[in-house]
Structure 1
Amino acid sequence: MFNTNDKKTESINSLDIVHDNAICYSGYREGQNPREGIYPSHAQVKEDLLILSQNWKYLRLYDCGPHAEIVLNVIEAEALDFKVMLGVDMAAEMTNPNCPWGANFSAETLIENRYANCRQVEKLIELSKRYTDIVFSVSVGNEASVDWTDHMVSVDSLVNYVIRIKSSISQPVTFCENYVPWTDKLAPLVAVLDFISIHTYPAWEYRTLDDALEYTKQNYHSVAHHYPDKPVVITEAGWTTQSNGRGIESWNASQELQANYYEQLLAWANEEMILTFVFEAFDEPWKGSPHPQEPEKHWGLFTVDRKPKLVMENLYAVKPAVIELAETC
């Protein structure tokens, strides 16, 4: 188990957010898929959260749908010590010809999507008010402005959503995005956010373990130095354990590489007091292509059947000194 005695307790800059272990959570198992409306049960979510409660304080959720509501309900019902970043699952409000897998939508679909996004924002506000002691922050979307996204939303629209949210709730508001857009197109959005949330994935950019952490640091500092007066957190950083070669070379995906990267990542993030949500808790078979080694399916620190991967053994194993003490008691 992670040694919580070494955690620092200072807040992150001006925000009342205490530094602690953070992880992205989406609990979809074999045969479950949010696009098909097949969600984890209350009992399954409870099982997951009891696993995660041993090592993590912060959870990041991606939407305000049935899965998120179940998660919040379980945390409240079981009196679990979690704080949640609640998100909005933004649908495309613009066609994006730069999306490699296609993002060309009819005018009617884009109008429907805007209405759906407004409903998502209102649901975010509702849940944030209902679970005010659990939801510590909210995100107005996820990767909805980067060049390759299939759910592009204009910066002006994001700004308006943030203004709507901030007029209704007290929790700080952010937006979760790849590090690249922050230093140019997202400047107007930064002006209305309480903090910035970036994603960094060295493996997706053909980096090896040799320079992965240095690349992560460069990604982070490219944004943090650009906005010295705005707190910056990392809401996704990870390493997949399998790949069929689509986007990530198969030799650059393994449990050993994941464990090594996480060890380096967390040592740096904890030393620098950078709140970092590791991606992600459990493997999710519904993601990406049907290929079983599709890299999107294998970012979990646990397999889909909830077995710990090597990273958990390396980072969260009980220390020998603790074992010895237990044996003498």
Structure 2
Amino acid sequence: MGIASSFFRTSLCASLALTLACTPPTNGSDNGPTPAEILGNPDYQAMSYGGYRGKTRDDGPTVEQLVDDIRILNAMGIKLLRTYNTSQFPQAERLLEAIRREKQADPSFEMYVMLGAWIEAKNSWAEAVWDADNDTWIEGTGPDHTEGNLQNNSQEIDTAIRLANEHPDIVKAISVGNEAMVQWAVTYFVYPKTILKWVNYLQAAKASGELKADVWVTSSDNYESWGGGNPVYHTADLTQLFEAVDFVSVHTYPFHDSFYNPSFWGVLPSEEALPFDEMTGLTMDRAIAYAKGQYQSVLDYMSQLGIDKPVHIGETGWASIDGTAYGVKGSKAADEYKQKAFHDRLRAWTDEEGISLFFFEAFDEQWKNADSPDHSENHFGLVTLDNELKYALWEAFDEGRFAELTRNGAPLKKSFSGELESLLASAMVPPFKSQMAVRRIETVNKTREPGEAVTEQRLVVVHDTLSDDSSDITFPSAMLKLTPWEGTTAIELMPDGVVRIETRAGDWWGASLEFAADVGEDLSAFNQGTLHFDIRGSDNVNFSLGFQTGNFLRGDQVNNFANFGPSSNRRVSSDWQAVALPISEINSGTDMTDVSNLIALLSQDRAPEREIFLRNIYFSQE
């Protein structure tokens, strides 16, 4: 059916400036269980799925390879899959064909799909141009987060409608966007109004009969994007989105936060003498509690809004290998033993509570970080690219579930050759809390509320000699979070009071000491003052350093930076040097009543494994 055959659809498409090929629902006598009967039902275990074997997605898996995969997934007990794209790559369409073939061969075979439609901003993935002289982005470059990529987004939604109508017995839900609203996804995020537009579009298509009415519509996003964290996300558009979706799909990742926000992670002092399995089990229990807390925070916000809808976990997972942040030099989280512990504990809870859990993911993929084989993103699967079943699936293997099944023409086998002793030898003891680096600075002035003007002569961030014994010295009114931007760095406070920043591989990197409050610190009295610090580190990296005002999530953040490195007149060496930056020279004319990051570093240079050290950081009014 073309657009012209339906006045309603023609009007709707025209209003959105789209050109969509609309396919009518397929009339079938039995489309199987409804979404309400599947979602939250432990008899329909869910999994995030990507079947890409190679280092790019350009050559996706064939239908025959996908048949192999769904047979393996069925042996795992999985009956509900989540995909991520519809039109950009052919995998979703081929997957549905593979399921159809298997159902035709075996009418009792059950496998259902939540189709993901990829949503992104206008000019997503375009490289923005950084003007180092003026410490700003050149206007007109990079993503425009206020608008969506109309061509891509319309094609994704149109294809989702077509596929759902062609496979009414398989497609049970459509997810509009994947982490598309979380604003640290700086290359592609959109605001809730864009997601809302497409959710409403799908709901209207259901009402008109252009999309089968029993397909549920949602958006899959980070718990903060669903209102469970920073109040910046609490907007009228988000409230309307809650009202428009049929259910809420929430992401939670304790694995990532084991390094970047490790408040829950690590072995407590009272547990250090316990056997490995006990101390690890208690640590993983806290990881589960952390995930439950993020899930509950979304429920709490929905309750505030008076909204009562099903909430499921659209994505979470645990990587088994990592060479940097989560490996032996980081949080020591990435191994198969902990992956199984997380998977089994979270499955038990979600099954008991009637929550669908789309565990990420079924099979390892290598396209996300093709140049870094040991990167965690390549190792979230329960099955390796070499057909090894990780520890979470050993019991199922012993039960004979995978007998005679193959992937890429080869049989499946246990990792570590099935030797438990070898697996345990590879598992890392979680870090002891007593020895973990600090990623929060909690020395605060509890007598002043965030937003109140700092009147003392000096505001100390961290210093080895300055203290609040003097009436002219104070500390921030809220704690400071040591924040690595998008995982491009590691940042930590060393026991000697030194802030250490280590860069990762990437085209840019950044980190900050973030003021952990809803408003920034009021440093209006310091307009003519000075930012002081000592610095040393790698001498072959260019970066900007200073402070930030405003809030990135609100869209009003401003960098107040000076340039450092070999391309500037401020060079860094292996020796400590004292720096005094006049605030009047680096202030970009911004509102000093809202200093959101008291120290921030940003570089547009690719410079992996460089180190910068800072100490004795403070602001003075003179």
Question: Are 2:324 and 1:245 aligned?
Answer: yes
1:131 aligns with 167
TM-score normalised per structure 1 = 0.84
More displaced 10-residue stretch of structure 1: 136-145 or 310-319: 310-319
State whether residues 287 and 296 of structure 1, in contact with CA within 8 Å, keep that contact through their aligned partners in structure 2.
yes
Matched, 1:75 2:119: no
Match of residue 120, structure 2, among 91, 101, 105? 91
What SS does the corresponding residue of 2:175 show, helix, strand or coil? strand
1:298 to 379, 403, 411: 379
Counting matched residue pairs gives 301
Mark the CA change 1:43 to 1:154 in structure 2 (over 3 Å): closer, same or farther: same
Task: Note if contact 1:240-1:299 (Cα within 8 Å) is conserved in structure 2.
Answer: yes
Q: Decide which of 303, 313, 330 is 1:234's aligned counterpart.
A: 313
Structure 1 residue 314 displacement after superposition: 4.5
Change (3 A) 1:312 1:45: same
- Paired with 1:305 and 1:60, the residues of 2 have a C-alpha distance of 23
One-letter amino acid matched to 2:60: Y
Distance 1:219 1:293 in 2: 28
Q: Which amino acid aligns with 1:61?
A: T
Q: Which has the higher helix share?
A: 1
Partner of 2:47: 23
The residue aligned with 1:59 is 81
Q: Deviation string for 1:169-213 (max 9, x for gaps)?
A: 221100000111211243231111111001111011124325100
Q: Aligned to 1:225, what secondary structure does the other structure show? A: helix
SS of the counterpart of 1:303?
Answer: coil
Moved over 6 A (4+): none
2:173 and 2:49 map into 1 onto residues whose CA distance is 15
Distance 2:143 2:287 in 1: 40
Indicate conservation of the 8 Å contact 1:224/1:230, yes or no. Answer: no
Measured in 2, the distance between the counterparts of 1:89 and 1:117 equals 7
Offset of 1:137 from its aligned partner? 0.6
**Is 2:302 the partner of 1:273?**
no
3-state SS in 2 of match to 1:78: helix
RMSD of Structure 2 on Structure 1 (CA): 2.8
Unmatched 5+ stretches in structure 2: 1-32, 104-108, 129-136, 206-210, 228-233, 266-283, 401-622
Structure having the higher Rg: 2
2:220 maps to 176
Select the residue among 288, 292, 310 that pairs with 1:213: 288
- Quote the residue 1:46 is aligned against: 67
Higher relative contact order (CA 8 A, sep 6+): 1
Unpaired stretches in structure 1, ≥5 consecutive residues: 1-9, 320-329
Q: Distance in 2 between matches of 1:105 and 1:202?
A: 36
Partner of 1:156: 193
Task: Quote the Cα distance in structure 2 between the aligned partners of 1:262 and 1:157.
Answer: 33
Question: Is the Cα contact below 8 Å between 2:124 and 2:142 reproduced in 1?
Answer: no
Aligned 8 A contact 1:94 1:152 in 2: no
Decide which structure has greater strand share. Answer: 2
Name the CA distance, whole Å, in 2 between partners of 1:105 and 1:114: 21
Q: Deviations over 1:137-163 (max 9, x none)?
A: 110110001021121122111111111
Secondary structure of 1:174's partner? strand
Amino acid in the other structure paired with 1:223: V
Counterparts in 2 of 1:156 and 1:94: CA distance versus 1, 3 Å: farther
CA 1:46/1:187 → structure 2, altered by over 3 Å: closer, same or farther? same
C-alpha distance after superposition, 1:296-328 (max 9, x if no partner): 100001111332100112567539xxxxxxxxx
- Evaluate the alpha carbon distance shift between residue 160 and residue 245 of structure 1 in structure 2; reply closer, same or farther with a 3 A threshold: same
Q: 1:259 to 1:167 in 2, by over 3 A?
A: same
1:201 to 245, 253, 262: 253
- 1:11-40 Cα shifts (integer Å, max 9, x gaps): 98xx34351211001000034x22xx2111
Distance 1:105 1:308 in 2: 49
Counterparts in 2 of 1:134 and 1:141: CA distance versus 1, 3 Å: same
Q: Greater shift after overlay, 161-170 or 105-114? A: 105-114
- The amino acid of 1:222's aligned partner reads S
Structure 1: distance between partners of 2:158 and 2:255: 36
> TM-score, normalized by length of structure 2?
0.45
